[in-house]
Amino acid sequence: MNIPFSTFQPMHEEIKEELEEAFHEVLESSWYIRGGQCRKFEEEFAAYCGMDYAVGVGNGLDAISLILQALGIGPGDEVIVPSNTYIATALAVTLVGAAPVFVEPELASYNIDPARIEEKISARTKAILPVHLYGRVADMDPVMEIAEKHGLYVVEDAAQAHGATYRGKKAGSFGIASAFSFYPGKNLGALGDAGAVVTNQEWLKEKVKALGNYGSDYKYHNIYLGSNSRLDELQAAFLRKKLKHLDRWNKARQEIATRYLKGIRNSEVILPQSSDKVYGHVYHVFLVRCRRRGELEGYLKQHGVSTLIHYPIPIHLQKAYHMLQMCRGSLPLAEEISDTALSLPLYYGMKQEEVDYIIKMVNEFH
């Protein structure tokens, strides 16, 4: 059996006509950037998140950095980020001129450990930027409490958690603003690059919108030193079609994850925490850990199963961040996850036989 790590085919096959309809609507509208499709998607996505406003932007990285810029965070400021995340989280902080300060994760959830945040807060700290990694919301109650106590903003990186919940509330509805990515492979993905900022603050919505449009709030009136990060009409139209199916697609992901969780029994393989009363996990990735990760990866490959590593090099050890001068051993938990993590295939349309085959293969690995 040959099983890819991921494929869009079953998902896009199912809604091919809707996507084609979206394409024709945009083509015929003769309006291609920030028009009616974008406005409607912003309304629909904000409502989906239980928030007042959304602003469509170019991608997830811009979504984070535009929020930070709009909050006035820049040179001399520090932002708390998890040590275990995709590099975009830290890069957004660096791009606005502020310094990322890494906090180690809880090994059980892979998300920022609230108990380790306060020791990293300094007089320069302006915000906490939790990430809902792999589709599981960070432990937001203590994060919000710490932020309130120290007068810090909370900005969520919800790029992997569209539709995930924490105590019944949607990912993206906790902080002053939240960033989403619609990179094709995310739970809600465009057919290209796209992103959004959600917030309940009208001023912040307006500022993010202007910052992503050359700092202009009114045509040819530029009030900020902005950039160009706008959502295409075409992507907005595709996203509107796909948003209608997101809950069903997330449910299918949860069913596959539940099957893995019930079926995989191997003392060498550590499974992720499942959904429970508090966490509505949407399994952007199904990540297991194994001491002999390289061997498990090769063995699965040999048996036709493609896997990925999220992520093979922790941010503080990336060449791009050499100026931090952080060596191996400085963030042991992030390093431990990088050294042992392996993500199993999980995509909408995966067949039960395929999931069962992978379960069997993992259980037979010794």
Which residues here bind ligand PLP, judged by CB under 6 A? 59-61, 85-86, 88-89, 131, 157, 159-160, 181, 183, 193, 195
Nearest residue relative to ligand PLP (C-beta): 60
Calpha distance 319→316 (Å, rounded):
8
Distances (CA, A) of 86 to 157, 256, 325: 10, 24, 19
Cβ 218 to ligand PLP shortest distance, Å: 28
Partners of 80 in the beta sheet? 101, 128
Distances (CA, A) of 88 to 28, 256, 278: 35, 28, 27
Paired tokens of 129:
């930027």
Residue 184 gets which letter from DSSP?
T
Cβ 82 to ligand PLP shortest distance, Å: 9
Cβ 247 to ligand PLP shortest distance, Å: 20
Cβ 32 to ligand PLP shortest distance, Å: 20
Comparison of 85 and 340: residue with beta carbon closer to ligand PLP: 85
Cβ 310 to ligand PLP shortest distance, Å: 9
Helix H or strand E encompassing 20: helix 16-29
Comparison of 155 and 358: residue with beta carbon closer to ligand PLP: 155
Cβ 83 to ligand PLP shortest distance, Å: 13
Comparison of 91 and 358: residue with beta carbon closer to ligand PLP: 91
Comparison of 198 and 296: residue with beta carbon closer to ligand PLP: 198
Residues 111/82, Cβ–Cβ less than 8 Å = yes
Comparison of 56 and 60: residue with beta carbon closer to ligand PLP: 60
Paired tokens of 48:
């989906």
Helix/strand number for the chain, H first, E second: 12, 15
Paired tokens of 304:
């036709």
- Pairing state between β 165-166 and 279-280: antiparallel
Comparison of 181 and 254: residue with beta carbon closer to ligand PLP: 181
3-state secondary structure of 106: coil
Cβ 160 to ligand PLP shortest distance, Å: 5
Residues 195/239, Cβ–Cβ less than 8 Å = no
Comparison of 311 and 357: residue with beta carbon closer to ligand PLP: 311
For residue 166, say if its preceding peptide bond is cis, omega within 30 degrees of 0. no
